[in-house]
Structure 1
């Protein structure tokens, strides 16, 4: 029996994040959307303060929140503020949307591990933000890189080896 949980992460353009996470062990589903902003019912053209985020549904019998964060910190640059690749602005910030104290503890531990790894030139700038409503993005943004395999992404595995 699956024991499903959800995680909410933002690390730049949501297309690339979704495309990479969908293939990870224990990940059952992904959806891109907007989180952490000022307006209800945000859209691609109107999402002030929202990050382009991803909802990850995972089976905690197959993977853990810590494993997801380990991968998260390997597929984007967590040391840049409001930027990934060519994308600039708060929509593209690196953020973990915390749902409970356990997630906060795990996120803080992973940030220490990443900083102590010295794999990056700078320190982690990823913010820990309280979970707020996750608003699914428009249908044309869902599974974008599946439909357009040569579409834009600034995400890739920067390090094969785990931080753990």
Structure 2
């Protein structure tokens, strides 16, 4: 189809984060309603022009552009902390895998730090009422962190956003790219690979390829996408055809 025509979005924000290998998080966040675009890349270090095999002191990260009127920063941060364990990934492969949050403005910084402190206050209050809980809330035989997640939140490194380097094409929408038949048919809609990877449809299908969402759920979400009605119709019909083939 012709080049995708996007409609203005009232307001979007970008959250940049690291939580280990970037393939899984891009699929996890990409399936969420309100998330418009995702991409993988490298950040957090000082090495110039990092690439996958030569990251230097950078970490694998993802960027998430989202509409806060649909999904809030707080919801994304809860998803972030609930789906990885910094005590496991921090230090693994040096800095390649690291729990990171980058704030782009003072409001993001305050929100991130407030959520950390709120969790800390809740755990301290719980421990003061039941001293034994402070002993049992740490690591058990399984090595799991306490249920409130305070320890893992404290281990997340918070940095101001600086330079961000996009990852190579083979690392964008990784799980979607493994669906070879689906990719071949997608190029009928998006002949340009860069345009495909920077589309809401690709973000959702990457989540679908990882098992986070169904094609029917993607179709229900299309009305919220910042596209012309013509392109929404074309994508909806294309997805309907994919459902029929399954």
For normalisation by structure 1, the TM-score amounts to 0.80
Asked which structure has the greater RCO (Cα within 8 Å, sep 6+), the reply is: 1
- More strand as a share of residues: 1
2:119–2:150 Cα contact (<8 Å) kept: no
Q: CA deviation at 1:121?
A: 7.1
**Rg: which structure is higher?**
2
Q: Which moved more, 1:118-127 or 1:9-18?
A: 118-127
Gaps in structure 2 of 5+ consecutive residues: 1-7, 124-145, 180-211, 213-246
Q: Structure 1 132/76 Cα, relative in aligned 2: closer, same or farther at 3 Å?
A: same
2:147 counterpart residue number: 119
Match of 2:93 among 80, 88, 111: 88
Q: CA deviation at 1:147?
A: 2.1
1:98–1:128 Cα contact (<8 Å) kept: yes
Provide the rounded CA distance (Å) in 2 between the counterparts of 1:57 and 1:121.
26
Match of 2:66 among 58, 71, 84: 58
The CA RMSD over aligned residues, in Å, is 2.5
Equivalent pairs, count: 149
Post-superposition Cα deviations, 1:10-60, rounded to whole Å, max 9, x if no partner, equal: 010000110100011210010000011122221001111111000001012
Post-superposition Cα deviations, 1:63-114, rounded to whole Å, max 9, x if no partner, equal: 121111011111111344615xxx5321111010111111111111222344
Post-superposition Cα deviations, 1:97-155, rounded to whole Å, max 9, x if no partner, equal: 11111111111122234454641677120010111111100000000022237xxxxxx
- More helix as a share of residues: 2
Gaps in structure 1 of 5+ consecutive residues: 150-156, 158-164
1:73–1:114 Cα contact (<8 Å) kept: no
2:28 counterpart residue number: 20
Q: Which moved more, 1:117-126 or 1:50-59?
A: 117-126
Match of 2:54 among 46, 50, 56: 46
